Amino acid sequence: MTFLFSPKVRPFVDETLESYLLRVVAENFFGSYEELSLAIREELHELDFDAHGAFPIELKTLNVYHAKHNSHFRMRALGLLESLLGLPAFELQKLALFKSDKSFNGASAVHRDGVDIPLCYIRYSDEKGKSSIPICPHCLTEDGYVKQVWHIKLIDVCVKHRCNLIHHCPQCQQPLNYIENESLIYCSCGFELSKAEASIASKGDIALAENLMKAEYSPNNPLFQSSSISQRFAALFWYQKRYSADSASCLKEAGTFFSHWPENFYDELDRVSENAESKLIELFNHTAFHFIYGDLISSLPNLNAHEKEPHFIRVALNLYLTRLVERNPKSKKPNVADLLISISEAARILDTSHEQIYRLYQDGILRSSFRQKMRNRINPHIGVFFLREVIEYKCSFGRDKQRMYLSAW
Ligand SMILES: [Zn+2]
Ligand SMILES: [Zn+2]
């Protein structure tokens, strides 16, 4: 049943859902997205009472990740819209940004086409925000749609036309935002965006954007060596949190930082290790690892469970900690390798769950540094296990292997 005209040009694989819906608005001669959405709702009401209410009236809340609850109703509504437009099944769902079931160290993420991206890297993800969504005028001239990649805060260039994206209207200087303006080709002042002049982007910026988003890995920089784009975002997220980088310059700064990896990271950790003794209030074997090194372990990228290979930052840190323990053998006087690791940190190092760590403790494989009441659960965030013992236990399985440390039964 076709109720709406579908645009002559089918959805592009890299188009945003909002962009395609604006093309539907134009093609069907509606005055605004709201008129279209009310018409769609009315039609859906007949077809599926549950799903019709899930179809958003406002364009800025259209995308699936905006659904507060019941995102499956939103999906069903999109499926029904596909049939109203006479499109093949899943054609619109392929354009949507979904809430991801993964998180970047607790920060929520969105998902599209196999890639997870921290939500904080998505432009205009907060409906209250007034951020711009930049454009490439050459892309608009060629195909007249908005690309999903323009929504990624870390990207400010068009790799196809090798130019910088434009954030502000050259005529009225207002931030460009096609969702707010409900127009793919005009600014709200009437300026035709394809007439804007884009400056030439630097070769370095283009290479960074290209390497970040391409499926193959690039051998020159560990940041881009991972074949999974999600892992690259995990590295950027880690870098940004650790070094308080600004989203706009994060890709550039991280690109430079990781080109000296891991020597620069090891130098930084060596400085912390050398000063550790001067920071002590109690002896090393009564001091939490966290007290000296901060969130070094707990901030490690943690998408691993879903990835084929361990994250390169995790591999580098595990190697550092292993060497730290080797360089500081057990002696009468406690040393830096006797610092105390929490359950949550041990789980990160061994790449397993808190539950497994409790079992290793109950089985006597990991010893607590102080006497626990058997029935009390240990707070997962306080230092209890000696770093030395956790690392030695890990090394007994071979280096950097992902494996179960206990059988599942
Ligand atoms: Zn372009
Ligand atoms: Zn304008």
Question: For residue 102, what pLDDT is reported?
Answer: 85
The more confidently predicted of residues 88 and 397 is 88
Helices 247-258 & 203-213, crossing angle to 10 degrees? 90
- 227 Cα to the center of ligand 2, angstroms: 40
pTM of the model: 0.90
- Which of 80-89, 125-134, 159-168, 172-181 is least confident? 125-134
- Mean per-residue pLDDT of the chain: 88
- 175 Cα to the center of ligand 2, angstroms: 8
Question: For residue 256, what pLDDT is reported?
Answer: 95
In which element (H, E) is residue 239 found? helix 229-243
How far is residue 354's CA from residue 360's CA, in Å, rounded to a whole number? 10
Question: For residue 142, what pLDDT is reported?
Answer: 96
- 139 Cα to the center of ligand 1, angstroms: 4
> b/e string for 17-43 if b means 16 or more Cβ within 10 A?
bbbbbbbbbbebebeebeebbeebbeb
Question: For residue 307, what pLDDT is reported?
Answer: 65
pLDDT, tens only, 329-356: 999 999 999 999 999 999 999 888 899 9
Cα separations in angstroms, 292 against 61, 192, 382: 44, 56, 13
What backbone phi and psi angles, to 5 degrees, belong to 107? -85, 135
| pLDDT beyond 60 at 139 | yes
What backbone phi and psi angles, to 5 degrees, belong to 117? -130, 135
Question: For residue 407, what pLDDT is reported?
Answer: 43
Among the residues of 178-228, which ranges form H helices?
178-181, 203-213
| pLDDT beyond 50 at 229 | yes
| pLDDT beyond 90 at 251 | yes
Q: For the chain, what are the domain ranges?
A: 22-96, 123-195, 262-409
Question: For residue 129, what pLDDT is reported?
Answer: 63
Ligand number, closest to the Cα atom of 132: 2
How far is residue 218's CA from residue 227's CA, in Å, rounded to a whole number? 8
Q: Kindly state the tokens that stand for 124.
A: 């205009």
Contact (CB, 8 A) for 142 and 123: no
Summarize the confidence of residues 357-371 as an average pLDDT: 85
How far is residue 270's CA from residue 264's CA, in Å, rounded to a whole number? 10
Q: What's the first-to-final CA gap in the chain, in angstroms? A: 53
| DSSP state string for 119-161 | GGGBTT-STT------B-HHHHHHH---BGGGGBTT--EETTT
Ligand number, closest to the Cα atom of 177: 2
